[in-house]
Structure 1
């Protein structure tokens, strides 16, 4: 087995403090990019939404799956996603970059696919599908991993933020894409299931 220490001390990236710093840096950078895009979009009178927002059941809209979470209707819309993105993204990143990027990618993809398949007639933009994906991952991963600490965290998060889960239910409010929320949550659950499976070639840990 490779020695994970150098001069008797753990590598910085493997300590809790190192993972926390990395988590804040990655999530903070992603949120900063969203704000830069929103400022540019606002200066262009949000014309980017018409070009890169997700258009359901449109052949051109398939490519919009890659871009729609990066755009927002206005600054208030982005504000509403900022804090949960930072909190949930940071908590997921504490488990490592592989876990975070897998969860983010599946939430992104599933949210876009569900919107494309069953979305309404409006163009959909916003990172709320990613919020729901990260949140759903945090809620269920402990049960797949049989990890009591993760289950305890999921209980605390549910008591604190569980009300947002109503966002996956169909609504007549046209400016809320419950389809994006539902798809993101599905992606988060899929990520938890995928990441809980034992990796091929790994050996059981020894005491």
Structure 2
């Protein structure tokens, strides 16, 4: 019988670390983009969502990575890390939910956002994650994830004010359509997962 030498033995990261790494990668990309925007005279924020402008459809994909300074980015980073990690650790749907929320929510903003505005930031994704977590467990009929949904609602209930046009310069449309996309993804994936049990 032979065994691998200690130097050649493979050490795997714990499962929870592997599942959270994609969330860290998303946040790192956002920070890298903001640093590049600060250091180089590129004015990247102009690539955000410009409602009903066919020349700026790429903003639907790019807007979550663009922020109005480090204060804006930090506010989104903390909640994104918490909610994204919860999503990654309790489901296998992180990438699908992220893509669905960014695309569906971004499309909603592009179609119905205010004229002559530019929408940037990951808060639509944050709202999508929160809405997904709040709804998914109930639709999938999974008690642990339903309790997590109740916890998310209890902790982040004040986010509801963000979907209303109360503050100048805040993309309430991004919040609203991000949350709606999160609910849509939770309904679709929750029903699918319930059938597959």
Residues 84 and 94 of structure 1: CA distance in aligned 2, closer, same or farther (over 3 Å) = same
Give the drift of 1:45.
4.9
The aligned residue for residue 7 of structure 1 is none
The aligned residue for residue 24 of structure 1 is 20
Distance (whole Å) between structure 2 residues aligned to residue 105 and residue 96 of structure 1 = 15
The aligned residue for residue 8 of structure 2 is none
The aligned residue for residue 156 of structure 2 is 161
Give the drift of 1:88.
0.7
Distance (whole Å) between structure 2 residues aligned to residue 34 and residue 45 of structure 1 = 17
Distance (whole Å) between structure 2 residues aligned to residue 93 and residue 30 of structure 1 = 12
The aligned residue for residue 92 of structure 1 is 87
TM-score (norm 1): 0.82
The aligned residue for residue 174 of structure 1 is 168
1:73 aligns with 2:61: no
Give the drift of 1:159.
1.2
Q: How does 1:52-201 map to 2 (within 5 A)?
A: 52-97=47-92, 99-120=93-114, 121-171=116-166, 173-198=167-192
Q: Is the 8 A contact 1:46 1:73 kept in 2?
A: no
Give the drift of 1:39.
0.3
What is the RMSD of the two structures over their aligned residues, measured on CA atoms? Answer: 1.9
The aligned residue for residue 6 of structure 1 is none
Give the drift of 1:77.
0.4
Give the drift of 1:151.
1.5
Residues 153 and 131 of structure 1: CA distance in aligned 2, closer, same or farther (over 3 Å) = same
Question: What is the aligned residue count?
Answer: 184
Which digits, 9 at most, give the CA deviation of each residue in 1:159-178, with x for residues without a partner?
1111112111223x331001
TM-score (norm 2): 0.86
Distance (whole Å) between structure 2 residues aligned to residue 198 and residue 135 of structure 1 = 20
The aligned residue for residue 5 of structure 1 is none
Partner secondary structure for residue 66 of structure 1:
helix
The aligned residue for residue 8 of structure 1 is none
Give the drift of 1:46.
6.1
User: Structure 1, unaligned stretches of length 5 or more?
Assistant: 1-11
